[in-house]
Structure 1
Amino acid sequence: MSPSAGSLIWISCRPLIRLAAGVASGFFITRADIFPLVAAQGAGQIALNITLPCLLFSKIVPAFTTDNIKALGPLVLIAVLYEALGLAFAWITKRFFWVPHRFRYGILIAGGWGNVGDLPTAVILSITGSAPFLGASDQNLSVAYISVFLLVFTITLFPCGFHRWLAWDFVGPDVEPEAMQAKVKGQRQRLFRFLLKERQGPPLPNYDDPPTDEEKTTPPVSPQLPVRTSEIYTQDDTTTVITSPNDTTKPLSTSSQAPSPHAQEADSAFPQPPLPRSSPATHTRPGSCSHYTRLLFAHARSFVKGLFNPICATIYVALPISLVPQLKALFIEVPGVHMPPAPDGQPPLAFIQDIATFIGAASIPIGLICLGSSLARLSIPLNQWRKLPIGAITSLAIAKMILTPILGVLICRGLANAGVLFKDDKVLLFVCMFFSCLPTATTQVYLTQVYSGTGSAEHLTPFLIPQYIIMFFSMTALNAYAIQAIF
């Protein structure tokens, strides 16, 4: 029997109330100056390096079985589809609305990578912990499914190198907003003319290449870097950027805004992003085969290193344990498998499962407090709102928080009808639908602050705030619809 309308509204709102309470706690103690930045940074590192891996281990081991492991493939597919959909919306936004030059690639990351960590875990655990779900068993299964989205997020953003797009924003000289607006205006006019087939009109001015862009101004020359420790990639067709995978340089300006606490969680859990450096083209000219060998080795080493951060390593360990009955019986009781018990009658390694459960319980509160602290440090002076790219901000917020959830529901229902998603796995359907309604990851704040070289993320801030405001309304509606549709 489907829940009543009143029950649906309450079931959908209740987890968001708990979410808001945790975020508000971090927000207010930060505003009251009793949760300093250094404390927030430490809490963020604890969350990603200790408590979140413990939470994932404690939930994955009992949740995954040989029967439901088949959901792993569809979960990866959904996660990749959502990232691709977000990238597409961000690219369209960039084409139709002007975006600051120092955010021209950052908007793609903001569109493609959502907040897949503590925020969805907090809400989904609350919803699956009560009717119409089955309580603890569905909670464990939901966190196991969430871990797949975390794995895809981490691998695509870091080992695959998409985080380097943020560095490209800070290569070369800046471009004035007026030039960017003229460029986008010209693109819109040509597109509309093409769509309307008005090819007989006079040619429009070429705004594609503003006179202040990189193509016309030579980037400043920086000291040459050792090739053996460098990663080389090309931005556009004219500028080559060399970054060191071992470079952990922090923002150099002491008077600028410091990295936000929640985003600082990425400091130790994910590969450290190096600061972008401009370099003459001669730095990347191949000299011999050993040159390419060193480059290939540097890329491979960086990729492999990124695959073994604490979150990914925990998933790699927990998945085989959950699928091999003899290993699983070491941690929890498994029907049909005899395992000599410990003196207390529990499985021999049950104490490890207890430790992971105990420490993992702190993950969600710490994460929400850090999120609130991060948002408290984001500020936009009121006199600057008129200078902001309102069209791009509004378009991206609507795309991520309204259009993507609608398309996400349609995608999930279509895949369920096609047999890709399993209709009898209600937790799987709910998790897949829920992840279509996530705002931009606050981890991008930290990455932008590091890559900028000044410790600021001034262009990202106005894109985040509207998304997190709309989230409370769109997420409530999505939860209510998803529960009604599934049950």
Structure 2
Amino acid sequence: MSLSLGQAIWIAVKPIIKIYLIMGTGYLLGRYNIFSVDGTRAVSDLVLMVLMPLLSFNKIVSNIDIGDIKNVGIICLSSMLLFGAGLLSALVVRKILPVPREWRNGMLAGNMFPNIGDLPIAYLQTLAKSSVFTPDEGNKGVANSIIYLTVMMVCVFNLGGFRLIESDFKYRDEENDLHETKNEVTSHSKSTSTASPRQLVEEDIEDEEMVADLGASVADLPSLPAEPSPSTVISSNGHSPDKMVPIPLTNANRSRRDSHATYSSSHHRSNSLVSTVRSIDLRRTRAGMNELVREYSHVDRFGRRRTLSEDSVASDSTGIPFAPIALANQTSTLTRILTTDATISSKDIKESGRKLPKRLSKFPFANHIVFFFMNCLRPCSMAVIVSLIIAFVPWLKALFVRTPTTVDMHQAPDNQPVLSFVIDFAEYVGAASVPFAILILGATLSRLKLSGLYPGFWKTAVTLVFLKLIVMPIIGVLWCWALTKTGWVSWEDDRMVLFVTVINWSLPTMTATIYFTASYTPIDATETIQLDCIAFFLLLQYPLLMFTLPTLVTYVLKSNMHL
């Protein structure tokens, strides 16, 4: 078939319109906090643990066979070249342009790993409904994209690519912090001891006014059950009431005691309404970068993994306690690896080999090897591994689907393969993966805000975006041309693997860099330089992508595919 230039442009632009409509919906839901941060996190985990593995299983088993082993190898080779080109270009830019010291390695990760998962799949699924590709070709392109995604996940998780982002964070030293705290306490004690009686009285009056205001605000809340008696409270703190010695109360002491009791009662009443008040307030306020840190951060100011006891007393800027879902430090390393994507750290690599016998743990890189295989158990990685094994073994594949390459086997009563219901289940549920992923992308972009930029960093970011979205696609086209010249593939027989390869060279930074950066940011951080840099870098890319990707696809359709 032959396409006019106008037809080719429309075919290339139409998928972008659909993607940005979904992304815009997610942006609005996130902007007005209808799609909250914890909701985004929950749906993201659902996509990674259930939806994407099922989509992978369905597309790979149904559309990949033993004849595609060569293409799988080409995908792995192209992925390594893609990541290497991104790394090299970022190193050059870092050498000649200003980059904040706190984002020198995060910049490398941001330029290395593109958003291979949802964007190319959504693009291909739309093209499969046009006259350019058949539905079978579209499904095969989706399967190729999933294999690309798996290779990237191996580089990010199994091989420790996340450590590039983590290495930018320099946490405070505990001993120095303790020394500073002691000095602050000493200076405060001195100032209190030298204060005049008049100043102390004024402070008491201010405290009483603050408590009165707090009591008035709490009085507006619904009534609650009576608080436990003072004796019960004392007993719960580990002190026996019988051993308490009564102390005569002066007027000042009585005033302080009454103020403390009023504050304590008000504090307990307000805490008991956390679930109600928080659910209302979060819907009224717009979420931002602080909410991302609060949800994903799993370290304190010293870089230690935060404990549940610390989170029980933590609170946000409104004074409402919180306990982020991201804190899974009470569970095993394997459990956290399997159930989340952004809370792993270098400490997990060190802890991976703890249960190895002493003889094995002495081998070089023993921890890294164990960590590598533990990450292979991630649902998406495991789904791809199992799917490829089934796809490459004809008699196994025949249990699920019937294709010209499968062997003849006994069929079910409906004349379908015996396990075809598994494919039906995976196809039905996995179809929700891409729309949800793009909604999450839009909601995440809505929360990116800039508190400040490093002087001259805008030049670095603009240069990186130019290289990533304009120069890299040109290199991708040249790489596909080189593959065809070697005779490994051709546009006539292998056009889907070539088309997917070209698209992947033109994609923006993966969204997970935001989650990784937030997870390594201390919950009480006053400066978020790393988040500001990656946010600015991402926000520059998506407006430009609306023009660069359709332009590239139009060129490929007319020049390489001769349509």
For normalisation by structure 2, the TM-score amounts to 0.67
- Of Structure 1 and Structure 2, the greater helix share is in 2
* Residue 313, structure 1, aligned to residue 357, structure 2: no
- The aligned residue for residue 339 of structure 2 is 268
When residues 82 and 386 of structure 1 are mapped into structure 2, their CA distance, relative to the original with a 3 A threshold, is closer
Output the CA distance in 1 between the equivalents of 2:337 and 2:450. Answer: 24
Output the CA distance in 2 between the equivalents of 1:425 and 1:103. Answer: 40
Output the CA distance in 2 between the equivalents of 1:21 and 1:368. Answer: 10
Output the CA distance in 2 between the equivalents of 1:430 and 1:249. Answer: 47
Output the CA distance in 1 between the equivalents of 2:109 and 2:324. Answer: 18
Where does the alignment leave 5 or more consecutive residues of structure 2 unmatched? Answer: 179-301, 326-335, 349-357
Q: What displacement does 1:295 show?
A: 7.3
Q: What displacement does 1:407 show?
A: 1.1
For the 8 Å contact 1:19–1:368, the answer to whether it is kept is: yes
Q: Deviations over 1:44-102 (max 9, x none)?
A: 11111111111111111121122222111111111111100001111111111111111
Amino acid of the residue matched to residue 475 of structure 1?
A: L
When residues 10 and 249 of structure 1 are mapped into structure 2, their CA distance, relative to the original with a 3 A threshold, is farther
1:401 pairs, out of 469, 482, 490, with: 469
State how 1:147-186 maps to structure 2 within 5 Å.
147-171=146-170
State how 1:63-462 maps to structure 2 within 5 Å.
63-134=63-134, 136-171=135-170, 255=316, 268-270=339-341, 272-274=343-345, 293=362, 296-335=365-404, 337-380=407-450, 384=452, 387=455, 389-423=457-491, 424-454=493-523, 456=528, 457-462=531-536
Q: Deviations over 1:281-329 (max 9, x none)?
A: xxxxxxxx97962874332221111122111100111112112221111
Where does the alignment leave 5 or more consecutive residues of structure 1 unmatched? Answer: 174-217, 224-241, 278-288
For the 8 Å contact 1:266–1:443, the answer to whether it is kept is: no
Output the CA distance in 1 between the equivalents of 2:73 and 2:30. Answer: 41
- The aligned residue for residue 486 of structure 1 is 561
- The aligned residue for residue 28 of structure 2 is 28
Amino acid of the residue matched to residue 140 of structure 2?
A: L
For the 8 Å contact 2:137–2:496, the answer to whether it is kept is: yes
- The aligned residue for residue 236 of structure 1 is none
For the 8 Å contact 1:159–1:304, the answer to whether it is kept is: yes
Output the CA distance in 1 between the equivalents of 2:60 and 2:89. Answer: 33
Q: What displacement does 1:429 show?
A: 1.3
Q: What displacement does 1:106 show?
A: 0.2
For the 8 Å contact 2:163–2:345, the answer to whether it is kept is: no
Output the CA distance in 2 between the equivalents of 1:259 and 1:486. Answer: 54
For the 8 Å contact 1:166–1:447, the answer to whether it is kept is: yes
Output the CA distance in 1 between the equivalents of 2:360 and 2:444. Answer: 42
When residues 330 and 301 of structure 1 are mapped into structure 2, their CA distance, relative to the original with a 3 A threshold, is same
Output the CA distance in 2 between the equivalents of 1:144 and 1:302. Answer: 27
When residues 73 and 219 of structure 1 are mapped into structure 2, their CA distance, relative to the original with a 3 A threshold, is farther
When residues 162 and 2 of structure 1 are mapped into structure 2, their CA distance, relative to the original with a 3 A threshold, is same
Identity of aligned residues (%): 29
When residues 66 and 291 of structure 1 are mapped into structure 2, their CA distance, relative to the original with a 3 A threshold, is closer
Output the CA distance in 1 between the equivalents of 2:143 and 2:485. Answer: 23
Output the CA distance in 2 between the equivalents of 1:364 and 1:148. Answer: 15
For the 8 Å contact 1:271–1:306, the answer to whether it is kept is: no
For the 8 Å contact 1:31–1:376, the answer to whether it is kept is: yes
When residues 480 and 248 of structure 1 are mapped into structure 2, their CA distance, relative to the original with a 3 A threshold, is farther
DSSP 3-state at the match of 1:7:
helix
For the 8 Å contact 1:260–1:445, the answer to whether it is kept is: no
Output the CA distance in 2 between the equivalents of 1:391 and 1:27. Answer: 27
Greater shift, 354-363 or 298-307, is seen at 298-307
Q: What displacement does 1:5 show?
A: 0.4
Amino acid of the residue matched to residue 143 of structure 1?
A: V
* Residue 46, structure 1, aligned to residue 115, structure 2: no
- The aligned residue for residue 4 of structure 1 is 4
When residues 291 and 254 of structure 1 are mapped into structure 2, their CA distance, relative to the original with a 3 A threshold, is farther
For the 8 Å contact 1:270–1:306, the answer to whether it is kept is: no
Q: Deviations over 1:103-151 (max 9, x none)?
A: 11000000101111111111122123322212x2112211111122111
DSSP 3-state at the match of 1:348:
coil
1:465 pairs, out of 539, 542, 545, with: 539
Output the CA distance in 2 between the equivalents of 1:266 and 1:150. Answer: 17
When residues 470 and 450 of structure 1 are mapped into structure 2, their CA distance, relative to the original with a 3 A threshold, is same
When residues 248 and 59 of structure 1 are mapped into structure 2, their CA distance, relative to the original with a 3 A threshold, is farther
For the 8 Å contact 2:98–2:456, the answer to whether it is kept is: no
Amino acid of the residue matched to residue 467 of structure 2?
A: A
Amino acid of the residue matched to residue 57 of structure 1?
A: F
Output the CA distance in 1 between the equivalents of 2:415 and 2:364. Answer: 55
Q: What displacement does 1:260 show?
A: 12
Q: What displacement does 1:458 show?
A: 2.2
Output the CA distance in 2 between the equivalents of 1:27 and 1:426. Answer: 34
DSSP 3-state at the match of 2:107:
helix
Amino acid of the residue matched to residue 468 of structure 2?
A: K
- The aligned residue for residue 56 of structure 1 is 56
Amino acid of the residue matched to residue 352 of structure 1?
A: V
Output the CA distance in 2 between the equivalents of 1:439 and 1:68. Answer: 28
Q: What displacement does 1:249 show?
A: 6.9
For the 8 Å contact 2:144–2:497, the answer to whether it is kept is: yes
When residues 221 and 301 of structure 1 are mapped into structure 2, their CA distance, relative to the original with a 3 A threshold, is farther
Output the CA distance in 2 between the equivalents of 1:310 and 1:472. Answer: 32
DSSP 3-state at the match of 2:158:
coil
